[in-house]
Chains A and B, each alone.
Chain A
Amino acid sequence: MKHRSFPQLKAALEHLSILLEDHPFFSVSGTEKETAMAQTHALLRELIAIEGRSLTIGLLGGTGVGKSSLMNALAGSAIASTSHRRPHTDRVLIYRHETAPSLPDTDLAQIPHQEVIHRSNRIRDILLCDLPDFDSLDQAHRQRVVGFLKQLDLLLWVTSPEKYADSSLYEFIRLTTKAHQNFYFVLNKADLFFENGPPEKGHEALAAVMQGFSDHLRAQGIEDPLIYMVSAKEAMGSSPPSPWNQFTPFRHQIFQQRDAKKITAIKSANLNVEAARLFSLLKKEIRNLQRFEALLTQMTAELNAQRGSWTRTGKEAIDLWFDRYLPREILSHSARSLNLIGPGHGLGLMVDKFGKNSPHGRAQHRVLSHLTPPDDVALRFQKALERVEDRITGRLLAEDLPSPFKTRLEQIVDARKNHQDLGERFFDGAALLSEQNRPVRMWGFKTVQYVVYAILFLLFLLALGGKTGWQAVTSDPGISTIVGLITAMIHTLFSPKGLAALVTYGILNLFLGFRFYRRYARALDQKADKHIRTLKTALLAIWDEKLTAIQADLNELKKEIQSRIAAISKIEKQS
Chain B
Amino acid sequence: MGLHPLPPIRVPGLTEDATQIDELAQDVRKKTRVYFYKQALPCLCVVLMGGTGTGKSTLFNALCGAALSAAGMERPKTGGPIAYGHQDCPVEAGFPFPSLDVVRSPAGAAAPASGSPAAFTVLTHYQEDLSHLLVLDTPDLDSVAAAHRDMARDLYLLADALIFVTSQEKYADQVPHRFLETALDEVSPLFILFNKAEKHITDPEVRHMLQTHGSRLRERSAWVIPYLSRPTWESVLNAPAFQAFKTAFMEALSKAKEPAIRRTRRQKLAHGLSRDLERLTQRIKAEDKAATQWRSQLETLCHEIGQDLLQAEKARFSGQSREYLAREIRRLFDRYDVLARPRRILKGLVMAPLRLLGVKPKPPSMSKDQVLFNVREKSDLSMVYGAMERLHRRVLEELSPRDRTSPLFGALREPAAVLTHTEIRKMIYREQERLADWLETKFNELARGIPAGKKMGIYSTSLVWGVLIVSFETVVGGGFTLLDAALDSAIAPLVTKGAVELFAFHEIQKINRDLARQYQDGLLSIITRQCRRYQACLNNLMPDESTLKTLRETRLAIEAQK
Cβ–Cβ contact A168 & B175, under 8 A: yes
Q: Please indicate the chain A residues that have their CB under 8 angstroms from the CB of B536 in the complex.
A: none
A163 within 8 A of B: yes
Q: Which of B73, B209, B323 contacts A208 (CB 8 A)?
A: B73
Q: How far is the CB of B132 from chain A (nearest CB, A)?
A: 33
Q: Is the CB of B75 within 8 A of A195?
A: no
Known contacts A163-B53, A193-B73, A135 near B316 by CB under 8 Å: no
Pick the interface stretch among B29-37, B164-172, B489-497.
B164-172
B169–A162 touching, CB < 8 Å: yes
- For A160, the chain B residues whose CB sits under 8 A away are 53, 169
B residues in contact with A398, CB < 8 Å: 392, 396, 413
Q: Cβ of A493 < 8 Å from any Cβ of B?
A: no
Give residues 337-395 of A contacting B (CB, 8 Å): 374, 376-377, 379-380, 383-384, 386-387, 390-391, 393-394
Q: Does A12 contact B (CB under 8 A)?
A: no
- Interface positions, chain B 318-366, Cβ under 8 Å from A, are 318-321, 323-324
Docked Cα-Cα span, A572 to B170, in Å, equals 45
Instruction: Encode contact with A along B231-243: 1 for CB under 8 Å, 0 otherwise.
Output: 1000000000000
A162 in contact with B389 (CB, 8 Å): no
Given the interface contacts A63-B173, A316-B380, A400-B404, does A168 sit within 8 Å of B142 by beta carbon?
yes
| Complex contact A161–B324 (CB within 8 A) | no
Q: Is the CB of B52 within 8 A of A166?
A: yes
Residue of B nearest to A211 (CB): B74
Inter-chain contact A137/B174, CB cutoff 8 Å: yes
Contact assessment for A162 and B52 in the assembled complex, using a CB-CB cutoff below 8 Å: yes
A400–B169 touching, CB < 8 Å: no
Residues A205 and B172 in contact, CB atoms below 8 Å apart: no
Most buried by A among B143, B315, B400: B315
Q: Counting CB contacts under 8 A, is B144 at the interface?
A: yes
Cα separation A195 to B383 with both chains bound (whole Å): 88
Q: Give the distance in Å from the alpha carbon of A168 to the alpha carbon of B409 in the complex.
A: 35
* Least distance between A326 CB and chain B CB atoms (Å): 11
Q: Number of contact residues on A: which range applies?
A: 35 or more
A200 contacts B by Cβ under 8 Å? no
CB distance from B323 to the nearest CB of A (A): 7
- A22 CB-CB contact with B under 8 Å: no
Residues of A within 8 A of B312 (CB): 379, 383
B386 contacts the other chain (Cβ, under 8 Å)? yes
Does any Cβ of A come within 8 Å of B218's Cβ?
no
In contact, B318 and A162 (Cβ under 8 angstroms): no
Whether B140 is near chain A, meaning CB under 8 Å from some CB there, is: yes
In the complex, B149 has a CB within 8 A of chain A: yes
Contact B324 A209 (CB under 8 A): no
Q: Per-residue 0/1 for A309-349: is the Cβ within 8 Å of any B Cβ (1 yes, 0 no)?
A: 10011001000100110000000000000000000000000
**Is A91 close to B, CB under 8 A?**
no
Indicate with 1 or 0, residue by residue over A521-553, a CB within 8 angstroms of chain B CB atoms. Answer: 000000000000000000000000000000000
Q: Which residues of A contact B (CB under 8 A)?
A: 62-65, 84-85, 89, 133, 135-138, 160-170, 192-193, 195-197, 205, 208-209, 212, 216, 219, 309, 312-313, 316, 320, 323-324, 374, 376-377, 379-380, 383-384, 386-387, 390-391, 393-394, 397-398, 400
The 8 closest A-B pairs by CB, nearest first: A162-B53, A165-B75, A387-B386, A64-B169, A397-B396, A376-B319, A394-B393, A196-B230
Known: A62-B169, A166-B51, A167-B143; 8 extra A-B contacts, CB below 8 A, are A84-B201, A162-B53, A162-B167, A163-B53, A163-B170, A196-B231, A209-B75, A397-B397
| 7 A-B pairs whose Cβ atoms sit less than 8 Å apart in the complex | A63-B170, A162-B52, A167-B143, A167-B175, A196-B229, A219-B144, A313-B380
